[in-house]
């Protein structure tokens, strides 16, 4: 037979030939390479101007033709508000003098005497600080129309509607992530100045939705002074080339100019020699994308930072040796720990002054002397090494929480080892817990991109979270197998229940049957079993007439199709895994998208997500109501899972300076904790008072009640089977005649009867309402707790509650008559 070839290989070969021989795409309307060459040439020009200028060439605007530089953004025709720069510098000098005293580096007069104060400062500012900013009265409100955009960006075909990163309010939050990597940051020979980079996360309370922005700034740091000047750089503002002119004194100008001449030259050389072009090595975009023509709509920013001295706990004591401690040793111990014990220190604190030359706003950090220390203390935070230690401790605490959570899950899975107990547990309760653990697994896998902690430790904890997910999914499969079987059984029962006969029209009588042909020798009479009018299979009753012998099992109607029944089950099982993974991935990626939206929308999403997550007991409460069951879960599992799963939520909602820098929200935390407490109270009430005690009759489907209120009738048809008399007395007792007059099953206490529990072979004394009356001394409300002591089956057998519940953990059959019992 001829072999058929697969046509897909031939089709792939045809497509490959078409792609190779297809004509090249038309080049764009402008030459990208020529424009890139123009960018490089402009950078070299700005570097030459930086080398040729001196202190005071920029910023002296007393004469119209002086004080300007031929640098993008520093020209007079650009329309920037550089007249505010002098006030910004003087404001920063005052803040620096309050920390360092009168030093020549802070004065424009080089003959200033050196009256410096000894201040303990970190030589490496790598870390983070956060606080609040306030708008100064010298700020201006400007719009893109106030700038000469045709001169700044001649290639821009569209006018700017509004500035991005424009702080129009009076205050908001700010956070700085400073990066000055040891051994990688370029510095001079004496390390008097070094390059530094910072990521700025700043928000505006008065913007719509509490908008916030995130961008990068580059600059220089003076380790001996604890001062830093940073700026943005874009097509409309060559901030890194003008950075020396933003310094506070001629000494700082000369040192920064010498460093920038070398570092900028090296950066441009690497930019030219790269295979793939980089349009702006000093881009302010956090994602690393280039600021193109249409991307330069943001406000530029110049930042001044001044570090405050480090204080030690107990240094006020004159005998304390902390006054002579070496800060270099502390920094080395933090960066390369040798086991030395470092003293407790004050947080990393610094003041900030920001100035936008194009948007015109001037901001500063809130703190003394304008604000009391109890209200604001400028920007405070931690060194990177200290932050990594705290993050590591938080990760380890989360690992302990996962281990405790696993312990409760394993104990609950062992408790629910039978179909009866698994049938009570809500599938969606365990599924919500599994989704939460899966989300934690994905977060731990990608968290090393945001934290500086050890990637190996994060992956180890992620493995623990994944192990928890696997156990929960296995538990879910066991629950699903039992519950889907129960649902199929109920569906078959409903399908086999005969429907009431519908009225049919009268039919004409059929004619009598024709006589059959006479029997011949070749024909045998029909067997007796072929008679259609024969009676059904007789029911055999045992001698004690209590148990009905089971009928022989009916063979399946189509045994050949039996293997096909397992195919839908396996397909549904695979679909269950697929739905779980799909829902988890979708939720994770939606959460990632909401991390970059405005603060109001982000807070609403995360509050809603946490509220849905901590509602894991709601499906169990609903299942208890619909099935009228109790004691589905262990109480240590309910309490333990509630506490352990609330701990991470409480950490992010209630701890300042957490590893994700989320804002504290005590009101939302109180709502989440209260909601979990309400669910636990509802579960406890269902176990004590009944699963439907707060549900009106008719709201839930009918279900059998194992704890009915017993009422005595004249025939005794509604009373349980198995009552026994306790009126036996010894001969010669005076009360023999009185006790013999009692009815069978009646106790000495009026309104109560005694029955036998066949499981434990002990008596049960239960309250019974007499015929036509009520019990003396209590109404029906008083029987609510008393009837929880006994359980009555549909077949009218009575048992102790603990006895029958223990029995029903393994078999849903009556211990006496083997009748199928409704699930508990």
Q: How much is the pLDDT for 632?
A: 85
752: exposed, middle or buried (C-beta count within 10 Å: 0-12, 13-18, 19+)? middle
Number of alpha carbons in the 13 Å side-chain half-sphere of residue 534: 9
Quote the CA–CA distance of 130 and 126 in Å, as a whole number: 14
Handedness of CA 254, 256, 260, 262 (dihedral sign): positive
Number of alpha carbons in the 13 Å side-chain half-sphere of residue 213: 16
User: What is the DSSP-derived secondary structure letter of residue 156?
Assistant: -
Low-confidence ranges of the chain (pLDDT < 50): 1-4, 26-30, 288, 292-295, 502, 505-508, 510-567, 725-745, 748, 777
Phi, psi of 699 (to 5 degrees): -80, -25
Quote the CA–CA distance of 277 and 261 in Å, as a whole number: 22
Quote the CA–CA distance of 35 and 235 in Å, as a whole number: 12
Say if residues 617 and 676 touch (Cβ distance below 8 Å).
Answer: yes
CA gyration radius for the chain?
42
Token pair recorded at residue 260? 């920038």
Reported as a single tens digit per residue, the pLDDT across 558-582 is 444 444 444 455 666 677 888 888 9
**Residue for token digits 């509050």?**
607
3-state DSSP call for residue 110?
coil
Please name which of 228, 237, 170, 169 lies closest in space to residue 197, comparing C-alpha atoms: 228
Query: What beta strand segments (E) does 120-279 contain?
Result: 127-135, 171-179, 194-203, 212-222, 227-231
164: exposed, middle or buried (C-beta count within 10 Å: 0-12, 13-18, 19+)? middle
Name the residue ranges covered by the structural domains of the chain.
Answer: 32-313+323-377, 387-489+572-689, 710-728+741-808
Query: What beta strand segments (E) does 687-814 contain?
Result: 710-711, 752-757, 762-769, 790-792, 798-800
Q: How much is the pLDDT for 455?
A: 74
Quote the CA–CA distance of 397 and 151 in Å, as a whole number: 57
Give the predicted TM-score (pTM) of the model: 0.75
The residues, any chain, with a CB within 8 Å of residue 101's CB and separated by 6 or more, are 115, 116, 117
Question: Helices in 66-159 by DSSP H: which ranges?
Answer: 85-100, 149-152
Question: Helices in 425-454 by DSSP H: which ranges?
Answer: 427-446
Please name which of 699, 707, 697, 690 lies closest in space to residue 628, comparing C-alpha atoms: 690
Q: How much is the pLDDT for 774?
A: 56
């Amino acid at each position: 037979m001829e072999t058929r070839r697969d046509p897909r290989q031939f089709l792939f070969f045809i497509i490959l030939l078409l792609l190779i021989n297809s004509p090249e795409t038309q080049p764009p309307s402008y030459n990208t390479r020529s424009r890139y060459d123009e960018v490089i040439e402009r950078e070299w020009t700005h570097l030459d101007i930086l080398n040729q200028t001196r202190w005071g060439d920029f910023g002296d605007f007393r004469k119209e033709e002086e004080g300007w530089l031929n640098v993008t953004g520093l020209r007079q025709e650009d329309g920037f508000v550089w007249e505010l720069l002098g006030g910004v510098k003087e404001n920063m000098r005052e803040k620096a003098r309050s920390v360092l005293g009168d030093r020549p580096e802070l004065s424009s007069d080089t003959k200033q005497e050196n009256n410096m104060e000894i201040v303990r400062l970190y030589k490496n500012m790598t870390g983070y600080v956060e606080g609040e900013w306030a708008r100064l009265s010298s700020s201006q409100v400007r719009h893109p129309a106030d700038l000469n955009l045709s001169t700044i960006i001649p290639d821009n075909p569209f006018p700017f509607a509004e500035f991005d990163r424009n702080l129009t309010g009076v205050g908001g939050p700010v956070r700085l992530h400073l990066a000055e990597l040891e051994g990688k940051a370029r510095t001079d020979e004496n390390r008097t100045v070094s390059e530094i980079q910072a990521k700025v996360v700043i928000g505006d309370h008065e913007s719509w939705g509490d908008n916030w922005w995130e961008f990068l700034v580059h600059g220089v740091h003076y380790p001996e002074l604890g001062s830093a000047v940073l700026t943005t750089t874009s097509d409309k503002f060559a901030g890194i080339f003008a950075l020396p002119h933003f310094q506070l004194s001629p000494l700082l100008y000369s040192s920064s100019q010498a460093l920038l001449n070398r570092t900028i030259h090296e950066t441009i050389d690497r930019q030219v020699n790269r295979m793939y072009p980089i349009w702006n090595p000093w881009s302010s975009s956090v994602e690393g994308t280039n600021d193109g023509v249409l991307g330069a709509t943001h406000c530029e920013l110049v930042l001044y930072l001044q570090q405050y001295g480090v204080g030690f706990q107990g240094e006020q004591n004159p005998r304390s040796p902390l006054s002579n401690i070496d800060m270099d040793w502390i920094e080395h111990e933090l960066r390369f720990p040798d086991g030395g014990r470092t003293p407790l220190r004050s947080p990393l604190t610094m003041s900030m002054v920001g100035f936008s030359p194009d948007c015109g706003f001037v901001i500063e950090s809130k703190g003394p002397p304008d604000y009391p220390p109890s209200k604001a203390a400028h920007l405070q935070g931690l060194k990177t090494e200290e932050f990594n230690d705290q993050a590591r401790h938080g990760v380890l605490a989360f690992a302990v929480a996962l281990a405790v959570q696993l312990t409760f899950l394993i104990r609950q899975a062992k408790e629910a080892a039978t179909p009866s107990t698994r049938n009570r547990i809500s599938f969606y309760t365990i599924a919500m817990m599994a989704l939460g653990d899966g989300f934690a697994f994905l977060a731990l896998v990608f968290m090393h991109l945001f934290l500086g902690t050890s990637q190996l430790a994060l992956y180890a904890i992620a493995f623990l979270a994944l192990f928890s997910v696997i156990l929960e999914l296995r538990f879910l499969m066991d629950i699903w197998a039992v519950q889907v079987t129960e649902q199929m059984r109920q569906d078959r029962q409903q399908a086999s229940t005969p429907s009431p006969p519908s009225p049919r029209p009268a039919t004409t009588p059929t004619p009598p049957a024709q006589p059959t042909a006479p029997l011949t020798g070749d024909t045998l009479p029909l067997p007796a079993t072929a008679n259609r009018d024969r009676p059904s299979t007789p029911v055999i009753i045992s001698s004690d007439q209590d148990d009905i012998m089971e009928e022989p099992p009916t063979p399946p109607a189509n045994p050949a199709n039996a293997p096909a029944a397992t195919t839908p089950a396996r397909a549904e099982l695979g679909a269950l895994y697929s739905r779980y993974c799909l829902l988890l991935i979708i939720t994770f990626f939606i959460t990632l998208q909401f991390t970059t939206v405005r603060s109001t929308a982000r807070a609403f999403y995360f509050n809603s997500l946490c509220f849905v997550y901590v509602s894991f007991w709601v499906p169990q409460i609903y299942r208890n109501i619909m099935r009228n069951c109790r004691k589905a879960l262990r109480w240590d599992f309910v309490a333990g899972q509630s506490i352990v799963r609330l701990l991470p939520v409480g950490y992010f909602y209630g701890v300042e300076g957490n590893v994700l820098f989320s804002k504290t929200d005590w009101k939302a935390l109180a709502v989440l904790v209260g909601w979990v407490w309400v669910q636990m109270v509802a579960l406890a009430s269902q176990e004590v008072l009944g699963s439907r005690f707060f549900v009106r009759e008719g709201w839930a489907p009918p279900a059998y009640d194992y704890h009915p209120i017993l009422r005595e009738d004249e025939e005794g048809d509604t009373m349980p089977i198995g009552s026994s008399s306790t009126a036996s007395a010894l001969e010669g007792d005076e009360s023999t005649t009185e006790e013999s007059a009692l009815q069978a099953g009646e106790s000495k206490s009026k309104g109560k009867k005694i029955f036998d529990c066949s499981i434990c072979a002990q008596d049960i004394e239960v309250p019974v309402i007499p015929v036509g009356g009520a019990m003396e001394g209590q109404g029906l409300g008083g029987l609510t707790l008393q009837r929880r002591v006994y359980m009555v089956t549909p077949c009218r057998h009575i048992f102790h509650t603990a006895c029958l519940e223990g029995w029903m953990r393994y078999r849903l059959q009556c211990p006496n008559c083997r009748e199928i019992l409704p699930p508990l």
